Amino acid sequence: MEGLIGKKVGMTQVFVDGKRLCVTVLEVGPCPVVQVKTLEKDGYVAAQLGFGEQKKQRLTKAVAGHQEKTGGLTDKKVRVLKEFALDEGETVKAGDVLTVSNFEGVKYVDVTGTTKGKGFAGVLKRYLFAGGNLTHGGHSKRRTGGLAARDLPGWIEKGKKMPGHMGDVTRTAVNLEVVQIRPEDNAILIKGSVPGARNGTVIIRKSLLNAALAFKAKKGAK
């Protein structure tokens, strides 16, 4: 399986070969297979996985009915649904449960999460602008500075860095090193930090960068 759904538990430190490493603990799965996409019916091959329990009355009728019809999840409903591509030669069926063991032997992963929301912020905090002179009489201490030309085009260009809402966006940290996998705790330890706050939902995938490099090396060896 290309990846799994999990949540960010928090950060801690572990000792590996006498070295102290700062790691992020991710709870990965268990992820039941809700639906299997086939080439004949859907035009592509993938598996729709679920994560996190949710009460039926808190789901829309469409989502609850979808889970009952395709995956047979009549007793327990899942809160998050996500599709993943299958590995070459892999076969799964609705009702199967995937765990962190899916990442056994994987050295690097990509983690996608929603960053912490910071609310409204100015350009100094949002984009690390230098600001104006902090001297007596200065009028642009924390302002943006010039925004547009006086002549043509005469308007502010699209994408200009200005004050606004900061954070609460989807970000992916790529090529993160896997320090440990703990099947008994359904946890994976990632070196460094990952986007998002504690208990936030994250998507963990096998690193695309390392897969591309391995494919390139294999192709060059032929």
What is the structure's pLDDT at 215?
Answer: 66
What is the structure's pLDDT at 29?
Answer: 84
What is the structure's pLDDT at 70?
Answer: 66
Q: Does 11 have pLDDT greater than 70?
A: yes
Measured distance CA(165)–CA(182) in Å, rounded? 38
What letter represents residue 44's amino acid? Y
What is the structure's pLDDT at 51?
Answer: 93
Q: Global pTM? A: 0.83
- Summarize pLDDT for 39-95 with one digit per residue, the tens: 899 999 999 999 988 888 888 889 888 888 765 565 678 899 999 999 888 889 888
What is the structure's pLDDT at 113?
Answer: 96
Percent of the chain with pLDDT over 90: 60
Q: What are phi and psi of 103, to 5 degrees?
A: -100, 15
What is the structure's pLDDT at 94?
Answer: 87
Query: Average per-residue pLDDT in the chain?
Result: 89
- Summarize pLDDT for 175-200 with one digit per residue, the tens: 999 999 999 999 999 999 999 999 99
What is the structure's pLDDT at 80?
Answer: 92
Helix (H) / strand (E) element for 119: namely strand 119-121
What is the structure's pLDDT at 222?
Answer: 62
What is the structure's pLDDT at 110?
Answer: 96
Mean pLDDT of 109-121: 96
Strand partners, 13: 22
Structure tokens at 141: 């201490």
Read out DSSP for 42-108? Answer: HSS-EEEEEEEEE-GGGS-HHHHHHHHHHT--SS-EEEEEEEEPPPTT----TT-EE-GGGGTT--E
Mean pLDDT of 6-14: 96
Q: Does 139 have pLDDT greater than 80?
A: yes
Q: Is the dihedral of CA 163, 164, 168, 170 positive or negative?
A: negative
